[in-house]
Amino acid sequence: MGISELWSQLGSIMASIMFVYAMYEQFFPYHLRGYVKKYTHKFTGLMYPYVQISFSEFSGERLKKSEAYTWIQTYLSANSSKRAKRLKAEVVKDSNTPLVLSMDDNEEITDEYEGVKLWWSSTYTVPKSQSISWFPHSDEKRFLTLTFHKRYRDLITSSYIQHVLNEGKAISIQNRTLKLYTNNPSNDWYGYKRTKWSHITFEHPARFDTLAMDPKKKEEIVNDLVKFRSGKEYYAKIGKAWKRGYLLFGPPGTGKSSMIAAMANFMNYDVYDLELTAVKENTELRKLLIETSSKSIIVIEDIDCSIDLTGQRKKKKEKEKDEDEEQQQPKNPVKKAEEEEKKESKVTLSGLLNFIDGIWSACGGERIIIFTTNFVEKLDPALIRRGRMDKHIEMSYCGFEAFKILAKNYLDVVDESHSLFPKIEKLLGETNMTPADVAENLMPKSLVEDSDTCLKNLVESLEEAKKKAEEEAKKKAEEEKVKVENEKEELAKVEEVNANEKSVEGVKENGTIH
């Protein structure tokens, strides 16, 4: 038989199989298919000497991507690129292995363990409903299926699978690049992207070495983080979820965001930057939380501005006052639209508290939650009580110790006997300058500026800031003086009027006017 004849025979066999399958799908009663499947499996089971184990991409009703699936996929990627014929390629920027090759959908490869041959296949099932859509269907499923001879059941289930998971996890950690996530608006969750978080590679260069702050305070924070990282058993022993909350507060430019980046780099944790205004309600908040991985930092920046949490507790009177004011003075339409948008978010204080330490917050473990704010006094005490925000860290204006770190980092000046240092120390004690401003002054503005010039620039800026602060203080004192004098005058006038009224009443009571 020639090749072409063989092909045509094969073609007709395939066509017949497809025809039978189509007839089965079309006409065989749906409720009887379960029985057919069951008995077909039973029958083939007698003849078929292999065992199959499937690992699904999602666990727990599609709530979360299965870690086992990810690790097996990583293990197979490391092995499959040499053997599989159809591969998927993904370019991962700045990773240790920039081009990641993995087994394509519906492809199979073999593996060997202690002389035993096994097969891994990747299955992709399309949805049953035939509706046409641009977006992936929510019932799409991916599996990795392991097939092996039933003779090796014990070996495979007791040791091979664990070996694959361990190897995959180790490779994942080795190839890991930190990621910076941001939450997608919930309208996109079921659309084309179908993800709640989008990410890019986290590349912030801040480290604890580069952070300008009191060294003792810095050491305390580093020790706290180290203790947290190795605290798995301890947290289990005391019955607390393995997570820790930090509240970073202080004026703008004092290094709160830099501190978060330094923490992420130090801990080797991913960062989830949660934009609360894009979250419509508490249930969405919970779904976002479940999709975060362990070994991560969840950040809510400027918590006082992100959402009107205190609004829920506004007294009725205040609300009425606001409404009255609005009636008298209609708001600028842009501002009004912004406020309306904020109002659309129905995340409440209790929803946020639940997010931080409700039952769901324990899923996954090993997580740090950080809030930042410029105005700590504006926050609801319930939100920042110890236990929720375990450690409160004040990021303050630049002191001399912090300045020395900046001088070392920006100018390589480590000599503390530098002639300008005492002057700078005195000026820093007398003025409030943020580390961001000090750093800006220390940065050479041209190629010819040396460290001495930069330090002189800083001294000038500090003196200017001091002068400005003094002038402002003087102006304020004068305004205060004028205010007090005005109040005194007002009081004197009122007293004079009262005295006059009293004397008129006295005359009336005596009854006669001469």
Stretch of 86-94, 226-234, 431-439, 503-511 contacting ligand ATP, by CB under 6 A: 431-439
Beta sheet of 367-373, edge-to-edge order: 197-201, 179-183, 270-273, 296-300, 367-373, 243-249, 391-394
CA 44 to chain centre: 49
Sole residue written with tokens 């800083």: 458
Among positions 73, 74, 257, 293, the unique one binding ligand ATP when judged by CB under 6 A? 257
- Angstrom CA distances, 215 to 250, 253, 401, 422, 426, stand at 17, 18, 7, 19, 19
- In the three-class reduction of DSSP (H, G, I as helix; E, B as strand; rest coil), residue 381 is classed as helix
> CB–CB of 107/143 below 8 Å?
no
- Residue 428 binds ligand ATP (CB under 6 A): no
Interatomic CA distance for residues 501 and 496, integer angstroms: 9
Least gap, CB of 395 to Mg ion (angstroms): 9
Nearest to 384 by CA among 413, 349, 424: 349
Q: Which residues bind Mg ion (CB under 5 A)?
A: 256-257
Indicate the residue among 73 and 254 with the shorter CB distance to ligand ATP: 254
Indicate the residue among 205 and 506 with the shorter CB distance to Mg ion: 205
Indicate the residue among 250 and 351 with the shorter CB distance to Mg ion: 250
Indicate the residue among 11 and 252 with the shorter CB distance to Mg ion: 252
497-506 per-residue burial string, b: 16 or more CB within 10 A, e: under 16:
eeeeeeeeee
Residue closest to ligand ATP (Cβ): 255
Residue 296 contact among ligand ATP, Mg ion, none, beta carbon within 5 to 8 Å by kind? none
Least gap, CB of 255 to ligand ATP (angstroms): 3
Indicate the residue among 300 and 439 with the shorter CB distance to ligand ATP: 439
Q: Contacts with ligand ATP: how many residues (CB under 6 A)?
A: 16
Indicate the residue among 164 and 398 with the shorter CB distance to ligand ATP: 398
Indicate the residue among 212 and 263 with the shorter CB distance to ligand ATP: 212
Interatomic CA distance for residues 254 and 242, integer angstroms: 29
Indicate the residue among 69 and 371 with the shorter CB distance to Mg ion: 371
Structure tokens at 189: 């969750």
- Residue 436 binds ligand ATP (CB under 6 A): yes
> CB–CB of 279/348 below 8 Å?
no
Q: For residue 77, how many other CB atoms are within 10 A of its CB? A: 21
Least gap, CB of 335 to Mg ion (angstroms): 23
Least gap, CB of 257 to Mg ion (angstroms): 3
Largest interatomic CA distance in the chain: 148
Least gap, CB of 214 to ligand ATP (angstroms): 10
Interatomic CA distance for residues 442 and 438, integer angstroms: 6
Q: For residue 99, how many other CB atoms are within 10 A of its CB? A: 10
Question: Binding to ligand ATP (CB under 6 A): which residues in 350-389?
Answer: 374
- Residue 435 binds ligand ATP (CB under 6 A): yes
Q: For residue 68, how many other CB atoms are within 10 A of its CB? A: 16
Least gap, CB of 329 to Mg ion (angstroms): 33
Indicate the residue among 241 and 398 with the shorter CB distance to ligand ATP: 398
> CB–CB of 387/318 below 8 Å?
no
Nearest to 270 by CA among 242, 302, 299: 299
Least gap, CB of 349 to ligand ATP (angstroms): 22
Least gap, CB of 435 to ligand ATP (angstroms): 3
Among positions 69, 184, 242, 253, the unique one binding ligand ATP when judged by CB under 6 A? 253
Least gap, CB of 177 to ligand ATP (angstroms): 21
- Angstrom CA distances, 423 to 33, 231, 279, 457, 462, stand at 88, 45, 50, 13, 10
Question: Binding to ligand ATP (CB under 6 A): which residues in 74-103?
Answer: none
- Residue 211 binds ligand ATP (CB under 6 A): yes
Interatomic CA distance for residues 263 and 433, integer angstroms: 24
Under the rule (CB under 6 A), what is the footprint of ligand ATP? 210-213, 252-258, 374, 395, 435-436, 439
